[in-house]
A = this chain, B = another copy of it.
Amino acid sequence: MQENNKRKNKEGQGGNSLVKRIERQLGQLSRSEKRVAQWIIENVASAVDASISEVAEATQVSQPTVIRFCRSMGMTGFRDLRTHLIAAMQRPDNYLHNDVAINDDTDDAVVKVVESSIRALVDLRTLLSGMPFQAAIDKMVNARQLIFVGLGASGYVARDACHKFFRLGIPCGTALDSQTILQQSAIARSDEVYVVISHMGEWAEMVDGMRCARDRGATIIALTDPVSSLAKVATWVFDCHPPEDTNVFTPMSSRLAQLTLLDGLQIGLALELGEQAEENLKLTKQALFSKWSQDP
């Protein structure tokens, strides 16, 4: 279904990632929203400089419906949609180019890998404005403990985050397998914050666990695909949608975005906590540093 229009980008009008994302979600949209989606896909170029009223007129729907469409796509509003459209238009054919091919030589492949990592972070940059950092931090400031949750590869991200946040002097834990997640969430408290990392956000045990924790009053902060089941359960969602091109040789650059996002959260939290956190950071840094800096 979506396979056959893969090569469509040749048209040049813009076979960009956002369009693919819209296409992927077409099914979950209501009738009017679908019309908006359709029109945007077919007129990306005009869509980038259209105002909300122009889009409404062109698609014969009301202006609020256009906004509703934006929200359904995980954006904060029309302005945000426009931002992403512009960003997406900037790289019409880059994706094909960035894919590692079986006959690439080592150096070419390495360059492509690095570029796709950079791409992942630049993409993150444009998503930033729609992310609920302040809200998440407000919850974390008063949390009794933070639990970092992730399965498989995301487990490494969760571990890394845990190791980062504990240095602020906050009790931190991890839940990295189904059993632990279920047990942990069964005893969740309303003063706890769960930070959940998941690409698709569809692992049943994880979603169940988080739903349970949420029901018990805990705050769920999810780094996941905003249209996933996990996102529906979460208190706050950070849009980490999985990459659309899943060539075997494509590395999981999206985890770099997750790590960076968590860096941002941690720094933001440190600033919010103020001197105490700063002091803790200094002390943990010194603890390592003094070890080998005494004899040079």
Q: Which positions in A face B, CB cutoff 8 Å?
A: 1-3, 6, 45, 48-49, 83, 86-87, 89-92, 97, 100-104, 106-107, 109-111, 113-115, 117-118, 121-122, 124-126, 128-129, 131, 133-134, 137, 152-153, 156, 159-160, 163-164, 200, 202-204, 246, 248-249, 251-253, 255-256, 259-261, 263-268, 270-272, 278, 281-282, 285, 288, 291-292
Contacts and interface: CB of A to CB of B under 8 A. Distances in A.
B272 A106 contact: yes
A264 B116 CA distance: 11
B106 A128 contact: no
A4 to B, nearest CB: 10
B113 A271 contact: no
Nearest to A272: B106
Contacts of A265: 110
Contact of A106 (B2, B134, B249): B134
Nearest to A251: B263
A86 B89 CA distance: 10
A231 B118 CA distance: 27
A203 B292 CA distance: 7
Contact of A125 (B115, B121, B264, B285): B115
5 contacts: A107-B134, A110-B268, A114-B264, A152-B163, A255-B259
A204 B83 contact: no
Count copies of this chain in the complex: 2
A45 B133 CA distance: 17
Nearest to A9: B93
Contact of A281 (B113, B249, B260, B266): B249
A271 B109 contact: yes
Contacts of A117: 121, 256, 260, 263
A212 B129 CA distance: 50
Contacts of A107: 128-129, 133-134
B292 A106 contact: no
A117 to B, nearest CB: 4
A97 B265 CA distance: 18
B92 A118 contact: yes
A102 B270 CA distance: 9
A197 B126 CA distance: 31
Nearest to A124: B114
B83 A152 contact: no
B125 A45 contact: yes
A65 B178 CA distance: 58
Given A126-B86, A152-B288, A256-B256, A249 B264 contact: no
A230 to B, nearest CB: 12
Contacts of A270: 248-249
Given A100-B267, A128-B111, A249-B271, A92 B122 contact: yes
